[in-house]
Structure 1
Amino acid sequence: MKIDLRGKHAIITGSTAGIGYAIAEGLANAGAEIVVTGRTQQRVDDAIAALKKRLPEARATGVAADLGTAEGCQALIDQQPETDILINNVGIFGPQDFFDVDDATWQQFFDVNIMSAVRLSRHYAKGMRERDWGRIQFVSSESGINIPSEMVHYGMTKSALLSISRGLAKVLSGTQVTVNAILPGPTRSEGVLNMLSDIAQKEGISQQEVEARFVKENRPSSIIQRLATPEEVAHMSVYAASPQASATTGAALRVEGGIVDTLT
Structure 2
Amino acid sequence: MKIDLHGKTALITASTGGIGFAIAQGLAESGAEVVLNGRSEASVSRARDKLNAAVVGAKIHTHIADLSSAQGVETLLKGLPAIDILVNNAGIFGPKDFFATDDETWEAYWQTNVMSGVRLSRALLPDMVKKGWGRVVFISSESARNIPVDMVHYGVSKTAQLSLARGLAKVVAGSGVTVNSVLPGPTISDGFATMMADEVKRTGKSLETLGKEFVMSQRPSSVIQRAATVDEVANMVVYVCSTQASATSGAALRVDGGVVDDIV
**TM-score category (smaller protein):** over 0.9
**2:245 paired residue number:** 245
**1:35 paired residue number:** 35
Residues 30-73 of structure 1 deviation map (CA, whole Å, 9 limit, x = unaligned): 00000000000110010010000111210011100001111110
**1:97 paired residue number:** 97
Q: CA deviation at 1:216?
A: 1.2
Deviates more, 1:220-229 or 1:206-215: 206-215
**1:125 paired residue number:** 125
* Structure 2 gaps, min length 5: none
RMSD: 1.2
Q: CA deviation at 1:176?
A: 0.2
> What SS does the aligned partner of 1:150 have?
coil
Residues 203-237 of structure 1 deviation map (CA, whole Å, 9 limit, x = unaligned): 64634553232111110000111110000000000
Q: CA deviation at 1:239?
A: 0.4
Q: What is the alpha-carbon distance in structure 2 between the residues aligned to residue 198 and residue 191 of structure 1?
A: 13
**1:164 paired residue number:** 164
**2:44 paired residue number:** 44
**1:25 paired residue number:** 25
**1:145 paired residue number:** 145
> What SS does the aligned partner of 2:196 have?
helix
**1:80 paired residue number:** 80
**2:210 paired residue number:** 210
**2:174 paired residue number:** 174
| C-alpha contact 2:166 2:179 (8 A) present in aligned 1 | yes
Closer, same or farther in 2 for the Cα pair 1:156/1:124, shift >3 Å? Answer: same
| C-alpha contact 1:196 1:207 (8 A) present in aligned 2 | no
| C-alpha contact 1:197 1:207 (8 A) present in aligned 2 | no
Superposition map of 1:213-228 within 5 A: 213-228=213-228
| C-alpha contact 2:182 2:254 (8 A) present in aligned 1 | yes
- The aligned length equals 263
- Aligned letter for 1:160? A
Runs of 4+ in 1 over 3 A off after TM superposition: 198-201, 207-210
| C-alpha contact 2:188 2:211 (8 A) present in aligned 1 | no
Q: What is the alpha-carbon distance in structure 1 between the residues aligned to residue 211 and residue 248 of structure 2?
A: 33
Residues 72-98 of structure 1 deviation map (CA, whole Å, 9 limit, x = unaligned): 101111121530000000101111111
> What SS does the aligned partner of 1:61 have?
strand
Residues 12-47 of structure 1 deviation map (CA, whole Å, 9 limit, x = unaligned): 000000000000000000000000000001100100
Deviates more, 1:94-103 or 1:241-250: 94-103
Deviates more, 1:164-173 or 1:79-88: 79-88
Percent identity for Structure 1 against Structure 2? 52
> What SS does the aligned partner of 1:79 have?
coil
| C-alpha contact 2:221 2:260 (8 A) present in aligned 1 | yes
> What SS does the aligned partner of 1:14 have?
coil
Superposition map of 1:2-13 within 5 A: 2-13=2-13
Closer, same or farther in 2 for the Cα pair 1:147/1:118, shift >3 Å? Answer: same
Closer, same or farther in 2 for the Cα pair 1:102/1:24, shift >3 Å? Answer: same
- TM-score between both structures, scaled by the size of structure 1: 0.96
> What SS does the aligned partner of 2:126 have?
helix
- TM-score between both structures, scaled by the size of structure 2: 0.96
